[in-house]
Amino acid sequence: MSSNKKYWKSVEELNENSSVVETLQQKEFAEQIPVEDFLGDKENLADSKTSRRDFLKYVGFSTAAASLAACEGPVVKSIPYVVQPDRIVPGVANYYASTIADGFDFASVLVKTREGRPIKIENNDLSKFKGGVNARVHASVLSLYDTKRVKRPMIEGRNVSWEEFDREVTSALENASGEVVLLTQTFASPSTSKLIQEFSSKYGNVRHVVYDTVSEDAALNAFQSKYGRRALANYDFAKVKTVVGVGADFLADWQGGGYDAAYAKTRIPENGKMSRHIQFESNMSLTGANADKRVPVKPSQQKAVMSALRGYIAGGSSTSDLPSNVDDAVVKAASQLRKAGSGAVVVCGIPDLEAQTWALEINEALGSRVMDTANARVIRQGNASEVA
Protein backbone atom coordinates (compact mmCIF):
# COMPACT_ATOMS: atom_id res chain seq x y z
CA MET A 1 0.00 0.00 0.00
CA SER A 2 1.34 3.40 -0.95
CA SER A 3 2.27 5.69 1.94
CA ASN A 4 1.99 8.95 0.03
CA LYS A 5 -1.80 9.07 -0.08
CA LYS A 6 -3.37 12.45 0.46
CA TYR A 7 -6.88 13.00 1.82
CA TRP A 8 -9.02 16.08 1.23
CA LYS A 9 -11.81 17.29 3.47
CA SER A 10 -13.56 19.32 0.79
CA VAL A 11 -13.56 20.16 -2.90
CA GLU A 12 -11.98 23.54 -2.15
CA GLU A 13 -9.07 21.82 -0.43
CA LEU A 14 -8.59 19.65 -3.51
CA ASN A 15 -8.20 22.80 -5.56
CA GLU A 16 -4.93 24.19 -4.19
CA ASN A 17 -5.50 27.59 -5.74
CA SER A 18 -8.74 28.16 -3.80
CA SER A 19 -8.80 31.46 -1.88
CA VAL A 20 -10.94 29.90 0.88
CA VAL A 21 -8.28 27.29 1.62
CA GLU A 22 -5.55 29.89 1.69
CA THR A 23 -7.51 32.02 4.19
CA LEU A 24 -8.22 29.08 6.52
CA GLN A 25 -4.62 27.91 6.40
CA GLN A 26 -3.42 31.29 7.57
CA LYS A 27 -6.18 31.82 10.17
CA GLU A 28 -8.50 29.12 11.46
CA PHE A 29 -11.08 31.58 12.82
CA ALA A 30 -11.65 34.11 10.10
CA GLU A 31 -13.19 36.78 12.28
CA GLN A 32 -14.21 37.34 15.88
CA ILE A 33 -17.72 38.13 16.95
CA PRO A 34 -17.86 41.80 17.98
CA VAL A 35 -19.82 41.10 21.16
CA GLU A 36 -18.59 44.11 23.13
CA ASP A 37 -19.16 46.53 20.25
CA PHE A 38 -22.57 45.08 19.56
CA LEU A 39 -23.84 45.20 23.15
CA GLY A 40 -22.09 48.45 24.00
CA ASP A 41 -23.78 50.53 21.30
CA LYS A 42 -27.09 51.24 23.08
CA GLU A 43 -28.24 53.83 20.53
CA ASN A 44 -27.96 51.52 17.53
CA LEU A 45 -28.76 48.29 19.37
CA ALA A 46 -32.42 48.26 18.32
CA ASP A 47 -31.57 48.90 14.66
CA SER A 48 -28.57 46.61 14.50
CA LYS A 49 -28.60 43.40 12.54
CA THR A 50 -26.86 40.13 13.20
CA SER A 51 -26.56 36.80 11.51
CA ARG A 52 -28.52 33.73 12.52
CA ARG A 53 -25.32 32.13 13.70
CA ASP A 54 -24.48 35.04 16.01
CA PHE A 55 -28.04 35.14 17.32
CA LEU A 56 -27.92 31.48 18.33
CA LYS A 57 -24.62 32.11 20.11
CA TYR A 58 -26.16 34.97 22.09
CA VAL A 59 -29.15 32.83 23.05
CA GLY A 60 -26.94 29.91 24.04
CA PHE A 61 -24.77 32.11 26.21
CA SER A 62 -27.73 33.74 27.96
CA THR A 63 -29.37 30.36 28.57
CA ALA A 64 -26.19 28.97 30.08
CA ALA A 65 -25.81 32.04 32.28
CA ALA A 66 -29.40 31.77 33.49
CA SER A 67 -28.93 28.07 34.26
CA LEU A 68 -25.82 28.77 36.31
CA ALA A 69 -27.60 31.50 38.24
CA ALA A 70 -30.48 29.13 39.01
CA CYS A 71 -28.08 26.58 40.51
CA GLU A 72 -27.40 28.87 43.43
CA GLY A 73 -29.47 27.75 46.43
CA PRO A 74 -31.59 30.18 48.42
CA VAL A 75 -30.24 31.60 51.64
CA VAL A 76 -31.84 29.85 54.61
CA LYS A 77 -31.25 31.45 57.97
CA SER A 78 -31.21 29.19 61.01
CA ILE A 79 -32.27 30.86 64.23
CA PRO A 80 -30.77 29.17 67.29
CA TYR A 81 -32.62 28.56 70.54
CA VAL A 82 -32.18 31.27 73.14
CA VAL A 83 -32.57 28.57 75.78
CA GLN A 84 -32.36 25.16 74.10
CA PRO A 85 -34.57 22.43 75.61
CA ASP A 86 -32.57 19.54 77.02
CA ARG A 87 -34.39 16.89 75.00
CA ILE A 88 -34.31 18.64 71.63
CA VAL A 89 -31.17 18.44 69.52
CA PRO A 90 -31.48 19.86 65.98
CA GLY A 91 -31.32 17.05 63.45
CA VAL A 92 -31.96 14.31 66.03
CA ALA A 93 -35.44 12.78 66.16
CA ASN A 94 -37.47 12.41 69.34
CA TYR A 95 -40.11 9.74 69.91
CA TYR A 96 -43.26 10.06 72.01
CA ALA A 97 -45.72 7.33 72.98
CA SER A 98 -49.32 8.30 72.31
CA THR A 99 -52.70 6.94 71.24
CA ILE A 100 -55.01 7.67 68.35
CA ALA A 101 -58.78 7.52 68.75
CA ASP A 102 -60.42 9.49 65.97
CA GLY A 103 -63.76 7.73 65.89
CA PHE A 104 -62.60 5.18 63.36
CA ASP A 105 -59.17 3.91 64.38
CA PHE A 106 -57.82 3.18 67.83
CA ALA A 107 -54.18 2.28 68.35
CA SER A 108 -51.15 2.77 70.55
CA VAL A 109 -48.66 4.70 68.46
CA LEU A 110 -45.14 6.05 68.53
CA VAL A 111 -44.80 9.57 67.12
CA LYS A 112 -41.48 10.55 65.54
CA THR A 113 -40.76 14.28 65.78
CA ARG A 114 -38.05 16.62 64.54
CA GLU A 115 -37.67 19.92 66.37
CA GLY A 116 -41.15 19.47 67.81
CA ARG A 117 -42.85 18.67 64.50
CA PRO A 118 -44.45 15.21 64.06
CA ILE A 119 -43.17 13.62 60.86
CA LYS A 120 -44.07 9.92 61.19
CA ILE A 121 -46.46 7.69 63.12
CA GLU A 122 -45.45 4.11 63.87
CA ASN A 123 -46.81 1.18 65.85
CA ASN A 124 -45.86 1.15 69.52
CA ASP A 125 -44.41 -2.33 69.97
CA LEU A 126 -43.95 -1.78 73.72
CA SER A 127 -47.68 -1.42 74.27
CA LYS A 128 -49.64 -4.46 75.40
CA PHE A 129 -52.14 -3.70 72.64
CA LYS A 130 -50.13 -5.12 69.77
CA GLY A 131 -50.90 -4.00 66.25
CA GLY A 132 -53.71 -1.63 65.38
CA VAL A 133 -51.67 0.68 63.16
CA ASN A 134 -53.01 0.46 59.62
CA ALA A 135 -52.32 2.56 56.54
CA ARG A 136 -54.86 5.17 57.62
CA VAL A 137 -53.14 5.62 60.99
CA HIS A 138 -49.76 6.00 59.27
CA ALA A 139 -51.23 8.64 56.94
CA SER A 140 -52.96 10.54 59.76
CA VAL A 141 -49.82 12.66 60.26
CA LEU A 142 -50.67 14.42 56.98
CA SER A 143 -53.78 15.93 58.57
CA LEU A 144 -51.54 18.00 60.85
CA TYR A 145 -50.17 19.80 57.79
CA ASP A 146 -53.44 20.11 55.88
CA THR A 147 -53.87 23.73 54.80
CA LYS A 148 -57.62 23.15 54.40
CA ARG A 149 -58.16 22.23 58.05
CA VAL A 150 -60.79 24.19 59.91
CA LYS A 151 -58.71 26.56 62.03
CA ARG A 152 -61.50 28.39 63.83
CA PRO A 153 -65.21 28.01 64.65
CA MET A 154 -67.69 28.34 61.81
CA ILE A 155 -71.35 29.32 61.79
CA GLU A 156 -73.29 28.69 58.57
CA GLY A 157 -70.06 28.43 56.59
CA ARG A 158 -68.42 31.64 57.84
CA ASN A 159 -65.48 31.95 60.20
CA VAL A 160 -66.22 33.47 63.60
CA SER A 161 -64.27 34.09 66.77
CA TRP A 162 -64.57 31.84 69.78
CA GLU A 163 -66.34 34.61 71.69
CA GLU A 164 -68.99 35.01 68.99
CA PHE A 165 -69.37 31.25 68.71
CA ASP A 166 -69.93 30.89 72.47
CA ARG A 167 -72.52 33.69 72.44
CA GLU A 168 -74.43 32.17 69.53
CA VAL A 169 -74.46 28.64 70.99
CA THR A 170 -75.39 29.80 74.50
CA SER A 171 -78.20 31.97 73.18
CA ALA A 172 -79.55 29.19 70.97
CA LEU A 173 -79.49 26.68 73.85
CA GLU A 174 -81.24 29.02 76.27
CA ASN A 175 -83.97 29.88 73.77
CA ALA A 176 -84.44 26.35 72.43
CA SER A 177 -88.02 25.15 72.88
CA GLY A 178 -87.56 21.68 71.41
CA GLU A 179 -85.06 18.89 71.67
CA VAL A 180 -81.34 19.64 71.34
CA VAL A 181 -79.33 16.99 69.47
CA LEU A 182 -75.62 16.65 70.15
CA LEU A 183 -74.02 14.75 67.24
CA THR A 184 -70.56 13.26 67.81
CA GLN A 185 -68.35 10.48 66.56
CA THR A 186 -67.42 7.52 68.73
CA PHE A 187 -64.89 8.52 71.38
CA ALA A 188 -63.09 6.66 74.15
CA SER A 189 -62.53 9.55 76.54
CA PRO A 190 -64.10 9.35 80.04
CA SER A 191 -63.58 13.09 80.40
CA THR A 192 -65.60 13.78 77.26
CA SER A 193 -68.36 11.46 78.49
CA LYS A 194 -68.51 13.34 81.78
CA LEU A 195 -68.70 16.69 79.98
CA ILE A 196 -71.60 15.45 77.86
CA GLN A 197 -73.41 14.23 80.97
CA GLU A 198 -72.97 17.62 82.65
CA PHE A 199 -74.10 19.37 79.47
CA SER A 200 -77.21 17.18 79.25
CA SER A 201 -78.11 17.64 82.92
CA LYS A 202 -77.82 21.42 82.64
CA TYR A 203 -80.09 21.88 79.62
CA GLY A 204 -82.29 18.83 80.17
CA ASN A 205 -83.63 18.44 76.64
CA VAL A 206 -80.36 17.16 75.11
CA ARG A 207 -80.13 13.90 73.15
CA HIS A 208 -76.66 12.57 72.37
CA VAL A 209 -76.40 10.81 69.00
CA VAL A 210 -73.24 8.94 67.97
CA TYR A 211 -72.50 8.64 64.26
CA ASP A 212 -69.72 6.62 62.62
CA THR A 213 -68.69 7.22 59.01
CA VAL A 214 -68.34 3.48 58.45
CA SER A 215 -71.13 1.96 60.49
CA GLU A 216 -70.95 -1.31 62.42
CA ASP A 217 -74.58 -0.94 63.43
CA ALA A 218 -75.59 -4.52 62.57
CA ALA A 219 -72.76 -6.09 64.59
CA LEU A 220 -73.42 -3.73 67.51
CA ASN A 221 -77.14 -4.52 67.54
CA ALA A 222 -76.49 -8.27 67.35
CA PHE A 223 -74.05 -8.16 70.26
CA GLN A 224 -76.37 -5.95 72.31
CA SER A 225 -79.34 -8.23 71.67
CA LYS A 226 -77.39 -11.31 72.75
CA TYR A 227 -75.21 -10.00 75.57
CA GLY A 228 -76.99 -6.82 76.70
CA ARG A 229 -74.14 -4.46 75.91
CA ARG A 230 -73.61 -2.25 72.88
CA ALA A 231 -70.13 -3.32 71.84
CA LEU A 232 -68.21 -5.50 69.40
CA ALA A 233 -66.85 -8.96 70.11
CA ASN A 234 -63.11 -9.11 70.52
CA TYR A 235 -60.96 -11.77 68.84
CA ASP A 236 -57.57 -13.17 69.82
CA PHE A 237 -56.28 -14.64 66.58
CA ALA A 238 -53.13 -15.86 68.33
CA LYS A 239 -55.28 -18.73 69.68
CA VAL A 240 -56.87 -19.67 66.37
CA LYS A 241 -56.48 -23.02 64.63
CA THR A 242 -59.10 -22.51 61.92
CA VAL A 243 -60.68 -19.22 60.90
CA VAL A 244 -63.47 -18.77 58.38
CA GLY A 245 -64.15 -15.23 57.19
CA VAL A 246 -67.30 -14.21 55.34
CA GLY A 247 -66.93 -10.74 53.87
CA ALA A 248 -64.69 -9.67 56.78
CA ASP A 249 -61.37 -8.06 55.87
CA PHE A 250 -60.02 -8.48 59.40
CA LEU A 251 -56.38 -8.02 58.36
CA ALA A 252 -57.21 -4.50 57.21
CA ASP A 253 -59.58 -2.20 59.10
CA TRP A 254 -62.56 -4.46 59.81
CA GLN A 255 -64.20 -3.28 63.05
CA GLY A 256 -61.25 -1.02 63.79
CA GLY A 257 -58.52 -3.45 62.77
CA GLY A 258 -55.54 -4.41 64.90
CA TYR A 259 -55.82 -8.16 64.37
CA ASP A 260 -52.94 -8.61 61.93
CA ALA A 261 -50.13 -9.04 64.48
CA ALA A 262 -51.92 -11.82 66.40
CA TYR A 263 -52.97 -13.51 63.15
CA ALA A 264 -49.37 -13.56 61.91
CA LYS A 265 -48.23 -15.54 64.96
CA THR A 266 -50.26 -18.58 63.93
CA ARG A 267 -49.10 -18.44 60.32
CA ILE A 268 -45.53 -19.45 61.18
CA PRO A 269 -45.21 -23.25 60.84
CA GLU A 270 -44.07 -24.84 64.09
CA ASN A 271 -43.48 -28.59 64.08
CA GLY A 272 -45.28 -28.74 60.75
CA LYS A 273 -48.46 -27.05 62.05
CA MET A 274 -50.05 -23.68 61.39
CA SER A 275 -53.52 -22.17 61.37
CA ARG A 276 -56.01 -22.82 58.57
CA HIS A 277 -57.73 -19.84 56.92
CA ILE A 278 -60.75 -20.03 54.59
CA GLN A 279 -62.20 -16.82 53.17
CA PHE A 280 -65.56 -16.27 51.43
CA GLU A 281 -65.70 -12.82 49.81
CA SER A 282 -66.77 -10.91 46.73
CA ASN A 283 -63.90 -8.49 46.09
CA MET A 284 -60.25 -9.39 46.54
CA SER A 285 -59.04 -8.10 49.90
CA LEU A 286 -55.84 -8.20 51.93
CA THR A 287 -57.35 -10.95 54.08
CA GLY A 288 -58.46 -12.99 51.08
CA ALA A 289 -55.03 -12.71 49.51
CA ASN A 290 -53.49 -14.27 52.63
CA ALA A 291 -56.05 -17.07 52.98
CA ASP A 292 -55.22 -20.73 52.38
CA LYS A 293 -58.50 -21.11 50.52
CA ARG A 294 -60.33 -18.17 48.96
CA VAL A 295 -63.85 -18.80 47.66
CA PRO A 296 -65.27 -16.00 45.47
CA VAL A 297 -69.01 -15.47 46.05
CA LYS A 298 -71.51 -12.84 44.99
CA PRO A 299 -72.51 -10.21 47.58
CA SER A 300 -76.03 -11.65 47.49
CA GLN A 301 -74.64 -15.11 48.38
CA GLN A 302 -72.67 -14.12 51.47
CA LYS A 303 -75.66 -14.34 53.81
CA ALA A 304 -76.54 -17.75 52.36
CA VAL A 305 -73.01 -18.90 53.20
CA MET A 306 -73.51 -17.79 56.81
CA SER A 307 -76.88 -19.54 56.95
CA ALA A 308 -75.38 -22.79 55.65
CA LEU A 309 -72.49 -22.63 58.13
CA ARG A 310 -74.95 -22.11 60.98
CA GLY A 311 -76.98 -25.09 59.79
CA TYR A 312 -73.96 -27.39 59.66
CA ILE A 313 -72.52 -26.28 63.02
CA ALA A 314 -75.14 -24.70 65.28
CA GLY A 315 -78.14 -26.61 63.97
CA GLY A 316 -81.01 -25.47 61.82
CA SER A 317 -81.56 -25.60 58.10
CA SER A 318 -78.45 -26.22 56.02
CA THR A 319 -80.17 -26.14 52.64
CA SER A 320 -79.17 -23.34 50.33
CA ASP A 321 -79.36 -22.21 46.73
CA LEU A 322 -75.60 -21.79 46.51
CA PRO A 323 -73.70 -23.06 43.47
CA SER A 324 -72.31 -26.56 43.91
CA ASN A 325 -68.69 -25.42 44.17
CA VAL A 326 -69.54 -22.87 46.87
CA ASP A 327 -71.72 -25.34 48.77
CA ASP A 328 -68.90 -27.91 48.70
CA ALA A 329 -66.52 -25.27 50.07
CA VAL A 330 -68.99 -24.47 52.88
CA VAL A 331 -69.27 -28.17 53.81
CA LYS A 332 -65.47 -28.50 53.95
CA ALA A 333 -65.16 -25.27 55.97
CA ALA A 334 -67.74 -26.53 58.49
CA SER A 335 -65.82 -29.79 58.81
CA GLN A 336 -62.58 -27.88 59.44
CA LEU A 337 -64.30 -25.73 62.08
CA ARG A 338 -65.71 -28.72 63.96
CA LYS A 339 -62.33 -30.43 63.86
CA ALA A 340 -60.60 -27.36 65.34
CA GLY A 341 -63.18 -27.11 68.13
CA SER A 342 -62.47 -24.28 70.57
CA GLY A 343 -59.61 -23.12 68.35
CA ALA A 344 -62.06 -22.27 65.56
CA VAL A 345 -63.79 -18.97 64.88
CA VAL A 346 -66.10 -17.45 62.27
CA VAL A 347 -65.96 -13.72 61.55
CA CYS A 348 -68.62 -11.91 59.53
CA GLY A 349 -68.46 -8.55 57.81
CA ILE A 350 -71.99 -8.54 56.35
CA PRO A 351 -73.99 -5.44 57.37
CA ASP A 352 -76.98 -7.55 58.34
CA LEU A 353 -78.35 -8.13 61.85
CA GLU A 354 -79.35 -11.73 61.24
CA ALA A 355 -76.00 -12.68 59.70
CA GLN A 356 -74.11 -11.08 62.59
CA THR A 357 -76.27 -12.97 65.08
CA TRP A 358 -75.51 -16.24 63.28
CA ALA A 359 -71.78 -15.56 63.60
CA LEU A 360 -72.12 -15.21 67.38
CA GLU A 361 -74.22 -18.39 67.57
CA ILE A 362 -71.71 -20.39 65.51
CA ASN A 363 -68.82 -19.32 67.73
CA GLU A 364 -70.82 -20.20 70.83
CA ALA A 365 -71.63 -23.64 69.41
CA LEU A 366 -67.94 -24.20 68.70
CA GLY A 367 -66.99 -23.08 72.20
CA SER A 368 -64.53 -20.70 70.57
CA ARG A 369 -61.84 -19.38 72.87
CA VAL A 370 -60.81 -17.00 70.10
CA MET A 371 -63.94 -14.86 70.52
CA ASP A 372 -63.92 -12.80 73.71
CA THR A 373 -67.25 -11.32 74.78
CA ALA A 374 -66.13 -10.36 78.30
CA ASN A 375 -63.57 -7.83 77.04
CA ALA A 376 -65.63 -6.45 74.20
CA ARG A 377 -64.51 -3.52 72.04
CA VAL A 378 -66.30 -0.19 72.35
CA ILE A 379 -64.45 1.65 69.57
CA ARG A 380 -67.71 1.76 67.58
CA GLN A 381 -70.90 3.14 69.08
CA GLY A 382 -72.73 4.62 66.10
CA ASN A 383 -76.47 4.00 65.94
CA ALA A 384 -77.95 4.28 62.46
CA SER A 385 -81.55 4.28 63.71
CA GLU A 386 -80.98 7.38 65.85
CA VAL A 387 -79.37 9.25 62.96
CA ALA A 388 -82.29 8.46 60.67
Give residue 385's pLDDT.
83
Give residue 41's pLDDT.
58
Angle at Cα 94 formed by Cα 93 and Cα 96, nearest 5°?
Answer: 145
The dihedrals phi and psi of 320, each to the nearest 5 degrees, come to -155, 165
Is 266's pLDDT higher than 60? yes
Please tell me which residue, 258 or 306, carries the higher pLDDT value. 306
pLDDT band at residue 76 using 50, 70 and 90 as cut-offs: confident
Give residue 125's pLDDT.
83
Q: Which of 6-20, 43-57, 60-74, 255-269 has the highest mean pLDDT?
A: 255-269
Is 336's pLDDT higher than 90? yes
Q: What is the pTM of this model?
A: 0.71
Which has the closest alpha carbon to 217: 101, 373, 352?
A: 352
- Amino acid at the residue 167: R
Report how far residue 208's alpha carbon sits from residue 317's, in angstroms, rounded to the nearest whole number: 41
Taken in order 17, 19, 21, 25, the sign of the CA dihedral is positive
Mean pLDDT of 296-317: 88
Give residue 23's pLDDT.
66
Give residue 32's pLDDT.
57
Cβ count near 366 (within 10 Å): 22
Give residue 196's pLDDT.
92
pLDDT band at residue 314 using 50, 70 and 90 as cut-offs: confident
Q: Which strands sit side by side in the sheet containing 293-296, from one edge to the other?
A: 293-296, 276-281, 242-246, 344-348
pLDDT digits (tens, 9 = 90+) for 156-176: 889 999 999 999 999 998 888
Give residue 214's pLDDT.
82
Please tell me which residue, 386 or 388, carries the higher pLDDT value. 386
pLDDT band at residue 317 using 50, 70 and 90 as cut-offs: low
Beta bridge partners of 277: 243
Is 113's pLDDT higher than 90? yes
Report how far residue 278's alpha carbon sits from residue 332's, in angstroms, rounded to the nearest whole number: 10
**Strands 106-114, 117-123: parallel, antiparallel or unpaired by DSSP?**
antiparallel
pLDDT digits (tens, 9 = 90+) for 29-46: 555 555 555 555 566 656
Give residue 133's pLDDT.
79
Give residue 272's pLDDT.
73
Across the chain, mean pLDDT equals 85
**Contact indicator for 242, 339 with CB cutoff of 8 Å:** yes
Please tell me which residue, 214 or 130, carries the higher pLDDT value. 214
**Contact indicator for 302, 329 with CB cutoff of 8 Å:** no
Give residue 53's pLDDT.
78
% of the chain surpassing 90 pLDDT = 41
User: In Å, how far from its chain's centre is CA 161?
Assistant: 33
Mean pLDDT of 256-268: 85
The dihedrals phi and psi of 66, each to the nearest 5 degrees, come to -65, -40
Give residue 290's pLDDT.
93
Q: Per mean pLDDT, which range of 54-63, 86-95, 279-288, 310-319 is the poorest?
A: 310-319
